[in-house]
Each structure stands twice: as structure tokens, then as C-alpha cells.
Amino acid sequence: MDDLIFSDEYFMKEALKEADKALDANEIPIGAVIVSKNRVIARGHNLTERLNDPTAHAEMQAFTAATEFLGAKYLNECVLYVTLEPCAMCAGAAYWSQIGKIVYGAADEKRGYKKFNASIIHPKTIVVAGVMENECSSLISGFFKAKRL
């Protein structure tokens, strides 16, 4: 029963809530959560504008919160849910954290890690793409469309 309740879609909806927080703050709407044993242990959304920091991506915020929560630097038993395919920087951080699984919504054709080097992800990390892709993609494309008006 827990597997039905705590599906990839369930946790991607949590990541989308984080993306909405970024949108409300006029940040690029990307959100992330990290899950351990069906429990959200960390949340993050883009803070690059607020912090004036190009590294303040949703995933980076979530990695920091998760390692603090666990008191450990490795996240090999955790799952990262993120609304957009990680960039090369975030994929590198995922590698170093040894995250067990990455689930992302929308592909990032311009800046996603797969465009540069798909092997940057740790070899033991499972990657699942396209979960709630339409919802994730609509949020970010709507943001940029509004910026161009």
C-alpha cells in the first residue's frame, strides 16, 4: 500500500510545490525534494536571484539540507526528485553525494547534464526521466514565456 501512496508522482508533486515557491519569488521555477524511506528529508528551490549565487540551484539546496539532516555526506539510500533535468554542476554534486536514485520531470535540452556528459552521474545511481513531464515543463516554459512579454 505504501508503494502506491508514495509513488514517484507523489514525491514529484512535492518537488513541484518547491518550484511554485521559486516562482512566487520570481526565481526560475525549479524544485527538488530528497526522500529517505518514503519520507521527505530535504526540500529546495532555486535561490540564485535572492542569494545572488549562480550555484544556488534547487538540487544544491536539497543536497545540503539532506546531508545536514542525516549527519552524513553520502545519500546512497535516498532519492532526489527534481522538476528539471539536473545541470552538469548538480549532476556532479549528485555524483559526489552518491545519491541512490534521481527522478526528474522535464528534460533540459540546453543545459541538462546529458547534453554534456551522461556519465557524470554515479554508476550506481538509478535515473528515471519524464515523471510528470508535462506539469514540470509547463511551469518552466510559462515562466520564460511571461518574461519575454
The C-alpha cell that represents 26 in the structure block: 520570481
Cα separation of 124 and 140, whole Å?
29
Contact 60, 68 (CB under 8 A): no
- Please name the amino acid found at residue 34: I
59 part of the active site: yes
Q: Which of 18, 27, 59, 85 is catalytic?
A: 59
Question: In this structure, which amino acid lies at residue 116?
Answer: F
Q: Write out the E strands in the chain.
A: 31-36, 39-45, 78-84, 101-106, 126-129
Residue 36 contacts residue 77 (beta carbons within 8 Å): yes
**DSSP label at residue 104:** E
* Catalytic machinery residues: 59
